[in-house]
A and B are shown apart, each in its own frame.
Chain A
Amino acid sequence: MMKDKNPHFSFRLSCLVNGQETEREIESSRSLLEFIREDLGLKGTKEGCGEGECGACLVLVDGKAVNACLMTALQLQGKELVTIEGIKGRDGGLHPLQKTFMAEGAVQCGFCTPGLIVASEALLRRNPRATLGEIKLELTGNLCRCTGYEKVLSAVEKAKKLL
């Protein structure tokens, strides 16, 4: 069997992943999503479209929500990554958003849920008193096909009070 003609350069990546110093040898063409799911084995971040359209793969990079499918892994160099596995409450238990998503019934099939929680967390970090209109606008990038969004919005509203 022949080898690829254009082998990708490999790259030593060091970053902070959910609070842990992480170093990995990766191919330069690796997407952040591949790095998270395949190299780190963190499966909570989902691929819904692979084109930045659905928001299922949102993660926090230096506190900002980004679509992991649209970033290369090496753009993470020296930065801090937080995935759904790293989203926790102050006591190390469930994060207020996770609690309100459960309590409000904002979870159905659950595939969009990690992305929705990450998007909401990014918004509330930036703007802890975001209005319903601001929440709606922020979450337009997260497709959910199950809930009709009502309970998602009320979950984020309720979480504001618990932060």
Chain B
Amino acid sequence: MEKLFYVGKSLPRKDARIKVTGAAQYAGDREFSGMLHAAAVRSPRPRIKILSVSDMKARRVSGYVTLVTYKDIKGVNKWPVVMQDYPFLPEKEARFAGETVALVVAKTARAAKKAAALVEIKYKELPFVADPLKALEKDAVKIYGADNVLSSFVIKKGSVDAAFKKAAYTVAGEFSTNYQVHAYLETQGAIALPEAGGGMTLHSTTQCPFYVLDAVAAALGIPYNKVKILQTVTGGGFGGKEDVPALVAAHAALCAAKTGRPVKLVYGRKEDFQSMSKRHPGWARVAYAADKTGRITACRVKYVLDGGAYSTLSPIVLWRGTVHAAGPYKIANVDIKTYAAATNKVPCGAFRGFGQPQICFAQESLIDELAGKMGMDPVELRLKNLLEPGDKTITGQRLNSSCGLKEIVQTVRKRSGWDKKVRNRKSGTGNQGDVVTGIGFSATYYGVGLGAKGRYLDRAGALVNIYKDSSVGVNVGNTEMGQGALTVLAQIAAETLNAPYESVRVEEVDSSKVPDSGPTVASRTTLMSGNAIIEAAAPIRGRIFKTAFDLLVAMGADASNKMTAAGGLFSMGGKSVVFKKVVAECWFRRLKMSEQGWYAAPRTTFKLEDGQGDAYVIYSYSADAAEVEVDLKTGVARVKKIWAAYDVGKIVNPKLALGQAQGGILQGMSWAMYENLVYKNGIMVNPNFTDYVMATTADKPEYDITFLEKPYAGGPYKAKGMGEVPLIGVAPAVANAIKDACGARVKSVPLLPEKIWRELK
């Protein structure tokens, strides 16, 4: 394999300096001359018929400018996301408490908020549905189609009933998980700037500038070539800035179009809680069958997601959950049925893990129950059944060599001292007193990229420019949201061009510079944009290397030696020339120093009838062990340490990868242990950081993280994707550890003390 100079090193983050000095400009930090401010008027009830919207009282607020309603929409009043059932602004019916019904524009943000509170919505309450399981019952109030089903999938393989009949062991259980709020520290926001000639430029905090482009063009009824989306420095996403920023930006654009002035719309935290997407609450009934040796022979799953009032991304989230529903095991007989149900609550969408963490909690908890029933070690049971290269997944996809699942499970087993800890517990030397400790395990896999359900969007572009001074500008269509994309992609560009890393700058997305590159989701940015950069850079690299060779020969280097290139230096036969000089010569020769690249993911398939096909291009893998402490008197549990190992292909930047892992683990642990969004009668009860509790520095466990880099031939420098795997398996590992510590099997997330305490009684 070729020697790499920049890829694989913990090079400094490109955007760290502007962030530590406070100089980074997020959407809310930008000011424009003559700029007005917008605020949303929101529906107060779960489901209403809108009779009228009046700004009579709002007009009295000093600085009030105007009210914007659906009547101001010149384009189509349908937000273009998957199923197009969500209007930009509702005309007759608002379907969840917090839905934007109208917008107010004023001279200051404070005046806009004050005026918005004074806008009167006259309405009639309509019957609503809040419980997703009840929504699927025959006699439920119908709020979506004939059955309240937003989306549904099946995977069928083999003969499940026969396998269950023949099984030596069977287990079954019902599990549920609650919402998770993204709680990105920067709330949603956008600024819309009207351009002469009827165009619109948006400054938007977003993971998906091209979704914003789709939405703004649709709402304004103008062609794409008059709309420009500039992604601002984005203060966290985690999926929460996948689809919904498009709605926020479209609202800002409608206000700007009506007033002819720049308009800023930045959300407050409460409205962000109430109206922006969430991790779906999940409910699952899972059953496994095994023969007497512990080989899992069948799996049956019914999985329901609470989709909320509009479908948004639910079909895709559900599909990912469906494909991964049985866990990372080879199982011959499978019967999986999944549903996303409509309810009159906030629409749920993308959140790191994307429909997998909910079902993973259920099935990985149940794997431990199966091990318990058999008297087998849970890690042994997993090792017996884990997917290996050449095995087929439940969708019939044969795995290639980039599958290090067994190795990472063994790594975590060894590093966590699993065998000794389990032995101690058995011999009774482990736990004494009121505070007991336990250890739990989980294993997961994650299809990188959009897969078969998103295949038409699974492509990405890049633009590489080498300027006369040899500085390198790179534009891509995927975004930096904190994960480190600007840095990792700069490393890939520097490596490919042999340009000094310091001279490469990857910019935030400008939709007019790069073609639609799909969303920045599904752990796909390194893979997709990385490959697109390599494609763009390849011809320039050819020119640079040829020119460098010529220069070295002209300098008297013996051409029978091989030219080497590393760290911006070209060397041959004792002579060397720097990148800057080579680029100057390229420009002197009038060579083309700018190229566009394009990468489309390989083909994926999924048959709707039986769920068979090559669902994803490639998979990443994780294994987690959690050690917890439980107070038997109170049920309070604390996670002490998490050991994790990942196979995510080649690691481009180890320090950033470690940051992704630690952040993903804590986000998963926080969801597992604390985060509890409460709805009562269709109204969100705790939309704030005081009552919605998340992990802080005091709750942070110790981390022990190992990377196993199984090369993926199709990835840039053999990388796969790693943004999401660290979160997925944390909750079941913690739940299994609690069970190990005190015998309490808690089947619903969050694993609150009262639930543990109740199980102990």
Contacts and interface: CB of A to CB of B under 8 A. Distances in A.
B410 interface: no
Contact of B697 (A42, A102, A103, A136): A136
B186 to A, nearest CB: 4
A80 to B, nearest CB: 18
B236 interface: yes
A82 to B, nearest CB: 12
Nearest to A34: B110
B656 interface: yes
B184 interface: yes
Contacts of B110: 34
A50 B184 contact: no
Contacts of A147: 659, 662-663, 666
Contacts of A109: 184-186, 234-237, 481-482
Interface of chain B: mostly helix, strand, loop or mixed: loop
A48 B20 CA distance: 16
Given A51-B688, A53-B689, A45 B22 contact: yes
A121 to B, nearest CB: 12
A108 B690 contact: no
A150 B183 CA distance: 19
A48 B698 contact: no
A149 to B, nearest CB: 5
Interface string B182-223: 111111000000000000000000000000000000000000
Interface in B79-135: 110
Given A109-B236, A111-B184, A147-B662, A140 B22 contact: no
B696 interface: yes
A145 B183 contact: yes
A140 B693 CA distance: 12
B694 interface: yes
B697 A139 contact: yes
A151 B666 CA distance: 13
Nearest to B657: A105
Nearest to B689: A53
A94 B19 contact: no
Contacts of A148: 659, 661-667, 700, 703
Contact of B22 (A43, A102, A149): A43
Contacts of A34: 110
A108 B663 contact: yes
Given A111-B184, A145-B236, A102 B20 contact: yes
Centre residue among A47, A117, A149 by max chain B CB count within 10 A: A149
A144 B185 contact: yes
A73 interface: no
Nearest to B24: A110
B62 A51 contact: no
A60 interface: no
Interface of chain A: mostly helix, strand, loop or mixed: loop
A158 to B, nearest CB: 14
A143 B483 contact: no
Interface string A123-163: 00000000000011101111111111111110000000000
Give the bracket for the number of chain B residues in contact with chain A: 35 or more
Given A46-B186, A48-B186, A84 B659 contact: no
A145 B185 contact: yes
Contact of A102 (B17, B29, B659, B688): B17
A98 to B, nearest CB: 4
Contacts of A149: 662, 666, 696-697, 700
A145 B269 contact: no
A4 B62 contact: yes
Interface in A1-51: 1-5, 34, 41-51
Contacts of A62: none
B556 interface: no
A148 B19 CA distance: 18
Centre residue among A42, A117, A150 by max chain B CB count within 10 A: A150
A53 B22 contact: no
B13 interface: yes
Contacts of A150: 662, 700, 703
A47 B268 CA distance: 9
B26 A46 contact: yes
B616 interface: no
B60 interface: yes
Interface in A81-127: 83-85, 94, 97-98, 101-103, 105, 107-114, 117
B233 interface: yes
A84 B184 CA distance: 20
Contact of B16 (A41, A56, A101, A112): A101
Contacts of A152: 697
Nearest to B18: A110
B270 to A, nearest CB: 8
B438 interface: no
Given A110-B19, A152-B697, A51 B663 contact: no
Interface in B13-35: 13, 15-26, 28-29, 31
Interface of B: 10, 12-13, 15-26, 28-29, 31, 59-62, 64, 110, 182-187, 233-238, 268-269, 481-484, 655-656, 658-659, 661-667, 688-690, 694, 696-698, 700, 703
Which 6 interchain pairs have the tightest Cβ spacing? Answer: A44-B22, A109-B482, A110-B19, A111-B235, A148-B662, A84-B22
19 contacts: A34-B110, A43-B22, A46-B28, A46-B186, A48-B185, A50-B268, A53-B269, A54-B269, A97-B20, A107-B13, A110-B16, A111-B184, A111-B185, A136-B697, A137-B697, A143-B689, A146-B483, A151-B658, A151-B659
Interface of A: 1-5, 34, 41-51, 53-54, 56, 83-85, 94, 97-98, 101-103, 105, 107-114, 117, 135-137, 139-153
